[in-house]
Amino acid sequence: MEAFDVGRKIKYLRQEQGLTAKSLAKSADISVGMLSQLEKGSTQGSVETLRKIAKVLNTTLASLFEDEQSTPLLNQTHESFHIVRKEKRKKISFPDPLYKCELLVPDLQGDVEVLLVELEPGRTTKEQLPHTRGGEEIDIVTSGVIEVTLAQESYVLYEGDSIRFNPEIPHKIENKSSQKASYISIITPPSF
C-alpha cells in the first residue's frame, strides 16, 4: 500500500487558496525551506508544524491526511467501517521517535477522533499549541505518568487519571519520567 503524501495535499491546498510558498511559510511561522521539503515529500514534518500549516490553510490536521477518495460512513455495513482490530490499527507516523499514535477508530471521517498515544521516557516538547477550534479533548492515562500543561498550569496524571479541556487552549503533553507512558486521547472535532 502506498503511503499517503501529505506534502502533495499541502501544496494542492496552498495553490487552491492562491498562497505562495513564502506567504504560507511566514503565516505558519516556519521556514520556506521546511515547507518546500514537506511539499516535495523529503520530510514529514512534526505534528506541531503540520498543525500550524493546517491552521493557516483554514483546515484541520485530519483533513491533511484524508484521501479525497474516502468513503462516507453512511450506509456502510462491512466490518472495516465499524471495527478496528488491534493488529490492524492505522499508525500515524511522525519524525519524533519518542511519540507514537495509533488510530482507534476506522478513519477520521466521523465527529470524534480516538487515538492511543505512546510517549517514550523523556519525551518533552518546547511548544504549546492549540489542536482545533472548539470541541473537547479528553485524555485517559493507561500506563505510566504524563504531564499536561494547559497555558500556564501543569497537571501530573497517573495511570487511571483523566483530564478534559478545550483543545483551543495552547497545551502540551509530556512524559518526563524514565518509564514509557500511554494514554487514550478522545478529541472532537477531529484534529488530525
- Type and span of the H or E element at 154: strand 153-158
Phi, psi of 77 (to 5 degrees): -120, -10
> How does pLDDT run across 18-65, given as a tens digit for each residue?
999 999 999 999 999 989 888 887 777 777 788 889 889 888 776 777
DSSP 121: T
CATH topology of domain 6-65: 434 Repressor (Amino-terminal Domain) (1.10.260)
**CATH for the 79-188 domain, from 3.20.20.105, 2.60.120.10, 1.20.140.70, 3.30.470.20:** 2.60.120.10
pLDDT band at 2; cut points 50, 70, 90: very low
pLDDT band at 116; cut points 50, 70, 90: very high
C-alpha 55: how far from its chain's center?
13
d(C-alpha 59, C-alpha 167), whole Å = 15
Where exactly are the structural domains of the chain?
6-65, 79-188
- The pLDDT of residue 132 is 64
pLDDT band at 133; cut points 50, 70, 90: low
- The pLDDT of residue 63 is 72
Asked if 6-65 and 79-188 have one fold, the answer is no
> How does pLDDT run across 74-115, given as a tens digit for each residue?
445 567 778 888 988 888 767 778 888 898 988 777 788 899
DSSP 6: H
- The pLDDT of residue 4 is 52
- The pLDDT of residue 1 is 31
